[in-house]
């Protein structure tokens, strides 16, 4: 299982993680939390597929706890902005009753698009962890 971590801070950079055998990065939860979060994101992806939508899923992790989760709903809602990441951010904001998700981690099955990256940054999400490349699942439509 390969993960990528992207910092949404001033200095954007990608780090490739092979099986989460890495030294802890400040602000990130333990690797077991990341593994569980990725499993939950994959479950959301599977839910999207069962519903006839695109194969994407995402969760928002805050303080080691999953506070938001969603599958892609682009096809089922005919909403071009209903990417899994956007829906997970919306879910987290509603559950936490705040627009400020500072310190949260967005975990996605594929690399988020620029719209989702911008939404994550606007919400205060500090890190993104994502699975294999977008090409593996096909581009959002």
Considering 36, 85, 117, 132, which one is annotated as catalytic? 85
Token pair recorded at residue 38? 């990725």
Token pair recorded at residue 92? 């987290």
Element (H, E) at 69: strand 65-71
Could you confirm whether 85 is annotated as catalytic? yes
CA–CA dist 116, 69 (Å, integer): 14
DSSP string, 87-135: HHHHHHHHHHT-S--TT-EEEESS---HHHHHHHHHHT--EEEE-S-GG
Nearest 5°: the CA angle 78, 122, 33 is 85
- Would you please indicate which residues are annotated as catalytic (active-site) residues? 85
């Amino acid at each position: 299982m390969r993960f990528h971590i992207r910092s949404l801070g001033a200095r954007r950079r990608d780090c490739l993680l092979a099986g989460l055998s890495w030294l802890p990065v400040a602000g990130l939860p333990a690797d077991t939390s990341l593994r569980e979060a990725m499993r939950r994101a994959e479950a959301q992806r599977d839910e999207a597929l069962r519903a006839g939508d695109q194969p994407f899923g995402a969760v928002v992790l805050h303080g080691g706890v999953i506070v938001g989760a969603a599958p892609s709903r682009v096809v089922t809602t005919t909403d071009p902005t209903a990417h899994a990441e956007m829906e997970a951010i919306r879910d987290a904001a509603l559950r936490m009753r705040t627009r400020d998700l500072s310190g949260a981690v967005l975990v996605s099955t594929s690399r988020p698009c620029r719209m989702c990256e911008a939404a994550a940054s606007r919400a205060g999400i500090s890190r993104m962890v994502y699975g294999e490349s977008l090409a593996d699942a096909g581009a959002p439509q």
